[in-house]
Chains A and B, each alone.
Chain A
Amino acid sequence: MKPPTQRRQRPGRPARRPRPAPGAAKKFRGAAAFLLTALLTASAAPGAAGPSAGEASAKRAVLRVEAEYIAYSFDRHAFIARNASFDLPPYRVSCGTLRADLSARAFLALGGVVLTREGESLRADALSFDPAASGALLLDYGDSLEARSLTLGAGADAAAAAPPPPAKLRAAEAVSLAAVRGSLLYAVCRSLDITPAYDAFGRDVVLYVEGLESVGFRSLKLSAAEAALSRRPGLSLNSLWFSRDRGIRGRASYSVLDPGRADSLTRLEYEEHSVIKDFPGPARQADLTTDSSWTLRPDLGLGFRGNANTSGLLDARLWLDKSWAQKKLSTRWDLTLSRPVGQPVETWLGLKAAYDAGGAGRLAAAGRLGSAGQAVGDFSYAARLGGNLDFQASSLYTRVRRGADGARSSILDGRLRLSYTSRLFNLASDYHLNADLAEGRTLRSPQLRMESGPLPFYGGLLQAGLSNVFIHNTLGGKGSSSSSYSNNTAFRLSAAPVPLARGLLLDFSLALEQFLEKEGRNFTSGGAVVNLKRRWPAGVTLEGFYSLQSRRRTRGGLLEGTTSQDLSGVLRLQPSEGLNAWVAASYDPKNGRFKQSFADLTLAVIRGWRFHSLLQYDFVLNKLSNVDLYLIRDAGRFELRLMWRSLSRQFLVELLPK
Chain B
Amino acid sequence: MRRRARPQAGFLLAGLIALAWLGAAACVNFRPAVQPPGLEVESLVVCRNAAFSGGLHVAEGAARTFGLDIPSLFALASLRDIDRGIALRFKWYAPDGVLARDSGPMPVDPGEKYLDKVTAFDRLDFAPGRIEPREGAWTVVLFLDETPADQTSFNIKK
Q: Please give the residue numbers on chain A whose beta carbons come within 8 Å of chain B beta carbons, in ascending order.
A: 2, 4-10, 13-19, 33, 37, 40-41, 49-51, 68-71, 82-83, 96-97, 110-112, 125-126, 141-147, 166, 169-170, 173-174, 176-179, 181, 188-190, 204, 206, 208, 213, 215-220, 242, 248, 272, 274-278
Contact = CB atoms under 8 A, between A and B. Distances in A.
Interface of B: 2-6, 9-10, 13, 20-21, 23-38, 40-44, 52, 54-57, 64, 78, 80-83, 88, 91, 93, 97-99, 106, 108, 110, 112-122, 137, 139, 141, 143-144, 147-153
B37 A69 contact: yes
Contacts of A145: 93, 97-99, 139
A70 B137 CA distance: 29
A177 B41 contact: yes
B81 to A, nearest CB: 5
Contacts of A51: 27
A82 B64 CA distance: 25
Secondary structure of the A contact surface, majority rule: strand
Q: Which of B27, B35, B38 counts the most A-chain CB atoms under 10 A from its CB?
A: B27
A7 B115 contact: yes
B107 to A, nearest CB: 9
B9 A275 contact: yes
Given A6-B56, A144-B98, A275-B5, A16 B114 contact: yes
Secondary structure of the B contact surface, majority rule: strand
A302 B139 CA distance: 47
Given A6-B52, A7-B110, A8-B116, A220 B27 contact: yes
A23 to B, nearest CB: 14
A17 B38 contact: yes
20 contacts: A2-B52, A4-B121, A6-B52, A6-B56, A13-B116, A33-B28, A41-B24, A49-B23, A69-B34, A82-B40, A96-B148, A96-B149, A111-B144, A111-B149, A141-B151, A143-B99, A176-B42, A178-B42, A216-B33, A220-B27
B25 A277 contact: no
B152 A15 contact: no
**The 8 nearest A-B residue pairs measured at CB:** A206-B33, A145-B97, A49-B27, A5-B120, A178-B43, A145-B93, A178-B42, A176-B43
Contacts of B10: 275
Contacts of B26: 50
Given A17-B83, A49-B23, A206-B32, 4 more contacts: A70-B34, A145-B99, A170-B137, A176-B150
A275 B13 contact: yes
A571 B2 CA distance: 55
Given A5-B106, A146-B97, A275-B10, A126 B151 contact: yes
Given A19-B35, A69-B34, A96 B147 contact: yes
Nearest to B60: A577
Contact of A213 (B13, B33, B56, B152): B33
A68 B37 contact: yes
A97 B44 CA distance: 14
Given A166-B137, A178-B42, A248-B13, A277 B2 contact: yes
B56 A17 contact: no
A206 B149 CA distance: 25
Contacts of B38: 17
Nearest to A22: B32
Given A7-B108, A9-B116, A15-B112, A190 B147 contact: no
Contacts of B4: 277
Contacts of B120: 4-6
A274 B5 contact: yes
A219 B24 CA distance: 11
B115 A9 contact: yes
B113 A9 contact: yes
Contact of B88 (A5, A143, A178, A242): A5
Contact of A5 (B21, B108, B143): B108
Contact of A141 (B83, B91, B121, B152): B91
Given A177-B41, A178-B78, A219 B33 contact: no
Q: Which of A83, A144, A174, A242 counts the most B-chain CB atoms under 10 A from its CB?
A: A144
A581 B93 CA distance: 41
A37 B27 CA distance: 10
B118 A41 contact: no
Contacts of A178: 42-43, 78
Given A110-B151, A178-B43, A274-B5, A83 B34 contact: no
A216 B56 contact: no
A13 B44 CA distance: 26
Contacts of A37: 21, 24-25, 28
Contacts of A82: 36-37, 40
Given A166-B137, A177-B41, A274-B6, A216 B115 contact: no
A177 B42 contact: yes
Contacts of A216: 28-31, 33
Contacts of B150: 97, 110, 176
Contacts of A83: 37
A6 B24 contact: no
Contact of B114 (A15, A71, A176, A181): A15
B152 to A, nearest CB: 5
A599 to B, nearest CB: 29
A170 B112 CA distance: 38
